[in-house]
Amino acid sequence: MAGTKNNHNEQGSDQNQNTKLPFEDADETMCDADVADDITSADYYFDSYSHFGNKKTFIFEASLIEMLKDVVRTKSYRDVIYKNKFLVKDKIVLDVGAGTGILSLFCAKAGAAHVYAVECSQMADTAKEIVKSNGFSDVITVLKGKIEEIELPVPKVDVIISEWMGYFLVYENMLDTVLYARNKWLVDGGIVLPDKASLYLTAIEDAHYKEDKVEFWNDVYGFDMSCIKRRAITEPLVDTVDGNQIVTDSKLLKTMDISKMASEDASFTSPFKLVAKRNDHIHALVAYFDVSFTMCHKMIGFSTGPKSRATHWKQTVLYLDDVLTVCEGEMITGSMTIAPNKKNPRDVDIKLSYSLNGQHCKISRTQLYKMR
């Protein structure tokens, strides 16, 4: 399954150790026998983290704690609001995908006139309790439902805030929902927090992991199980990458301006040129993203890159069929196409084309990946 963590970097920070991603064990988590047959995949997504009483409580709690304890994520949002109170003070704020309501609480404490916290899952009921326990029931209204289906008590809002980003930026993300809310409710001149997100690409040496987890299938106690290897190669891995593994520079693939973009802009093809910074072997390309809040008095943002402090988003590793032998200064050229899967828009289809015309390696290849 795309995104499964396999302790790829045993030297990573504590917050990335021994924790499961929310969609591990998905067959059980999303397919409990007592769930009605007519519930859609989107319904499973919205409710998969919100059941305190069932046998998957530990998965929910682990993912919730992981997000809230993600210091980079949570403190960045807090700093944006507390250090730039003018953004929300006396404003009507819409929190899209509110979860526990932590962003709504930040806004209320910073002086927002009112906050509408919209959460589709059962977590909305818990968020109401949290809001009440902290004395903000008169400022924060928690609304349970999908943004596309609810009606707000007000015609327009001044600010939309959301932690919409998914793994690989666009996997199982809420971008479309944020854009829908922006188009329907944001007042002219209103702001979206965050308003910029950029996706980057680099390349790494990763011989040990690839040999242990991918090439292993070529000979399993004398039997050929390489069909599993093909599956492993085509499903990107979400994990923490050691910065020392990076062989090339990083290149920007796409910057999304959330305040202006259209939904279809999330599907794109971007060319890239990666320049080797040392003589080495390349086993995978790695994608990560940066987020910016440009409306602040002094811009605030954070990176999920391998050389930055670790976040729960980690990085996304795309293993190559080939091992690329590169010399310092040589260039890998190519393009990456990213689009939602046609059957399930929360999945992501990736087409990677790359070429190397080096001293020791000449190759041109196209690979297809799916995050699901």
**Does some domain include residue 145?**
yes
CATH code for position 312: 2.70.160.11
Is the pLDDT assigned to residue 33 strictly greater than 60?
no
Is the pLDDT assigned to residue 56 strictly greater than 70?
no
pLDDT bucket at 231, cuts 50 / 70 / 90: confident
**Does some domain include residue 182?**
no
Please state, rounded to an integer, the average pLDDT across all residues of the chain: 87
Residues 101 and 234 in one domain: no
pLDDT bucket at 301, cuts 50 / 70 / 90: very high
Residues 228 and 153 in one domain: no
Higher per-residue confidence, 234 vs 61: 234
**Does some domain include residue 35?**
no
Given the residues 66, 119, 172, 330, the one annotated as active site: 172
> What is residue 338's predicted lDDT score, i.e. its pLDDT?
98
Which token pair is 157?
């809002």
CA nearest to 161, candidates 190, 141, 129, 139: 190
Identify the weakest region by mean pLDDT among 124-133, 224-233, 359-368.
224-233
User: pLDDT of 302-350, one tens digit each?
Assistant: 999 999 999 999 999 999 999 999 999 999 999 999 999 999 988 999 9
Range of the domain at 75: 45-163
Residues 234 and 141 in one domain: no
**Does some domain include residue 231?**
yes
For residue 121, which amino acid is it? S
**Does some domain include residue 34?**
no
Residues 321 and 207 in one domain: yes
Residues 201 and 324 in one domain: yes
328 catalytically annotated: no
Residues 61 and 115 in one domain: yes
pLDDT bucket at 210, cuts 50 / 70 / 90: confident
Residues 203 and 152 in one domain: no
User: pLDDT of 71-108, one tens digit each?
Assistant: 999 999 999 999 999 999 999 999 999 999 999 999 99
Residues 101 and 239 in one domain: no
For 243-259, what is the mean pLDDT?
A: 98
Total domains present in the chain: 2
CATH code for position 109: 3.40.50.150
Residues 76 and 147 in one domain: yes
Which token pair is 308?
């930055």
User: pLDDT of 114-146, one tens digit each?
Assistant: 999 999 999 999 999 999 999 999 999 999 999
For 182-205, what is the mean pLDDT?
A: 98
- CA separation for the pair 201, 212 (Å, rounded): 24
**Does some domain include residue 204?**
yes
Residues 215 and 149 in one domain: no
Residues 206 and 291 in one domain: yes
Which token pair is 65?
């704690």
**Does some domain include residue 175?**
no
Given the residues 66, 163, 205, 330, the one annotated as active site: 163
H-type alpha helices, the chain: 26-29, 41-47, 57-68, 71-82, 102-109, 123-133, 175-185, 207-213, 226-234
**Does some domain include residue 2?**
no
For 206-231, what is the mean pLDDT?
A: 89
- CA separation for the pair 121, 123 (Å, rounded): 5
For 183-211, what is the mean pLDDT?
A: 96
Domain boundary among 140, 163, 186: 163
CB 204 within 8 A of CB 8: no
Domain boundary among 163, 187, 222: 163
Domain boundary among 163, 181, 206: 163
Residues 217 and 360 in one domain: yes
172 catalytically annotated: yes
For 270-295, what is the mean pLDDT?
A: 98
